[in-house]
Structure 1
Amino acid sequence: MLESPINKSKAKEKYIKIIKGVLATIYIFFACTMPVHAQKVKDSKLVTGTEKLINDITIKLIILAPIISGLLIIYFCIRRSAADEMDVKKWNNRITTAIVSCIGAVLGSALINLIVGYYK
């Protein structure tokens, strides 16, 4: 199906607006920051609270990701056993996706936890 030139120009305009917004946000973030003393930032509630939040989320994700993935895989296997030949492939793909997602979630949260650990 061919797109009309009007739709392409509207899409280009939309992408240009998005890019301008992102660039403006980046400019404001870097240009409008004021220098602060490192000790004040380190001991601020925002930094310590964010650090605790990230630590709690990553630890809980490391624990919950395999449990939820295991339950999903069990559900997918049950559904696969009741499916016909065409649907078996879809359920196999879902099982594979659940396994890969579990590994990615655990490794990602462990990596984030490791990076945050260096800043303590």
Structure 2
Amino acid sequence: MKRFYKKTISILTIIFYILLQNTFVFAINLQNSKIAKGFENLVKDATSLLMLLAPIVGGLLIGYFFLRKSGADEMDQKTWQKRINTAIYSVVGVVVSSALINLIIGYFA
């Protein structure tokens, strides 16, 4: 048992030494690195693609939901109307959030 405590204390001492050791990081050129520039371009392209694809896919889904609603009975029409509303709200949310992310990236780039 005493041996177990000695090993545990030794391991904890090493871990605390590593965690509390003063290290200096020079990250001045992080914004000019290839990784940062690539990530910035990736986010811009992804948000632009979302702003293009979201209305197209949403429009197709809404059209499909209207077709299903027209062939449904009275109870199912309420369900299809809820799905139509959800699709509309989702498309608006995706487009607005993509535009906002693109705007923020544009300011901080």
TM range (shorter): 0.7 to 0.9
Percent of pairs identical after alignment?
51
**Which structure 1 residue ranges, 5 or more long, are not aligned?**
1-27
CA 1:87 to 1:112, structure 2 compared with 1: closer, same or farther past 3 Å?
Answer: same
CA 1:114 to 1:82, structure 2 compared with 1: closer, same or farther past 3 Å?
Answer: same
Distance 2:96 2:65 in 1: 23
Q: CA deviation at 1:63?
A: 0.7
Which of 7, 21, 26 is equivalent to 1:36?
A: 26
CA RMSD of aligned residues (A): 1.6
3-state SS of the aligned residue for 2:38? helix
3-state SS of the aligned residue for 2:89? helix
Q: CA deviation at 1:36?
A: 2.5
Q: CA deviation at 1:42?
A: 1.2
- TM-score using structure 1 length: 0.69
CA 1:34 to 1:75, structure 2 compared with 1: closer, same or farther past 3 Å?
Answer: farther
Q: Which runs of 4+ in 1 moved over 2 A?
A: 33-38
Which of 39, 42, 51 is equivalent to 2:40?
A: 51
Q: CA deviation at 1:47?
A: 0.5
Alignment of 1:1-120 (within 5 A): 35-38=25-28, 40-120=29-109
Distance 2:32 2:55 in 1: 35
- Higher RCO, 1 vs 2 (CA within 8 Å, ≥6 residues apart): 2
Give the equivalent residue in structure 1 for 2:6. none
**Which structure 2 residue ranges, 5 or more long, are not aligned?**
1-18
Distance 1:34 1:85 in 2: 68
- TM-score using structure 2 length: 0.76
Give the equivalent residue in structure 1 for 2:3. none
Q: CA deviation at 1:44?
A: 1.1
Number of residue pairs aligned between Structure 1 and Structure 2: 88
